[in-house]
């Protein structure tokens, strides 16, 4: 019997992700929701990848985490709310303020890489 996935606190996750990416000098955070086509089970998986393109610190790409889309739906909902606020203001970037961040605010942008397709796959990135 499979155990039930724990829900992830969206604000804590995003704050830790932004803090880690800033400390590691990463400038792109890629979110990818894809359908896992394993014949034993079918579920969507949320993958988070960090990318750095820098002459000073070098180029790097690494996987940050992977979870089921069901467990990460609060994260996607939070990013969607922030994205809607950014588009409502017609801004290139948005400032997210929270006490969970060491610096209490973070500026980031949103870029859609792939729209949802017939399998409900989605891919976007946050630009720091």
> Which CATH number belongs to the domain containing residue 31 in this structure?
3.30.450
List of residues 6+ apart from 84 with CB closer than 8 A: none
Tally of domains within the chain: 1
Question: Which residues, listed in sequence order, are joined to residue 126 by a DSSP beta bridge?
Answer: 29, 110
Residues 71-125 have pLDDT tens digits of 899 999 999 999 999 989 888 898 999 899 888 888 999 999 888 777 778 899 9
- Contact between 75 and 69 under an 8 Å Cβ cutoff? The reply is no
Between CA 110 and CA 117 the distance in angstroms is 19
Q: Is residue 35 in some structural domain?
A: yes
Residue 44, domain extent: 10-127
- Contact between 10 and 75 under an 8 Å Cβ cutoff? The reply is yes
* pTM: predicted TM-score of the whole model, two decimal places: 0.86
Between CA 59 and CA 28 the distance in angstroms is 11
Residues 8-20 have pLDDT tens digits of 899 999 999 999 9
């Amino acid at each position: 019997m499979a155990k039930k996935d724990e829900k992830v606190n969206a604000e804590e996750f995003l704050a830790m992700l932004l803090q880690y990416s800033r400390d590691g000098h990463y400038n792109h955070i890629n979110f990818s929701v894809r359908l896992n086509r394993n014949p034993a089970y079918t579920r969507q998986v949320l993958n988070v990848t960090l990318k750095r393109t820098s002459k000073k610190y070098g180029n790097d790409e690494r996987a940050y985490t992977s979870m089921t889309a069901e467990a990460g739906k609060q994260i996607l909902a939070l990013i969607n709310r922030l994205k809607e606020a950014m588009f409502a203001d017609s801004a290139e970037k948005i400032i997210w303020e929270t006490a969970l961040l060491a610096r209490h605010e973070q500026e980031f942008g949103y870029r859609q890489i792939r729209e949802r397709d017939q399998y409900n796959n989605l891919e976007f990135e946050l630009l720091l």
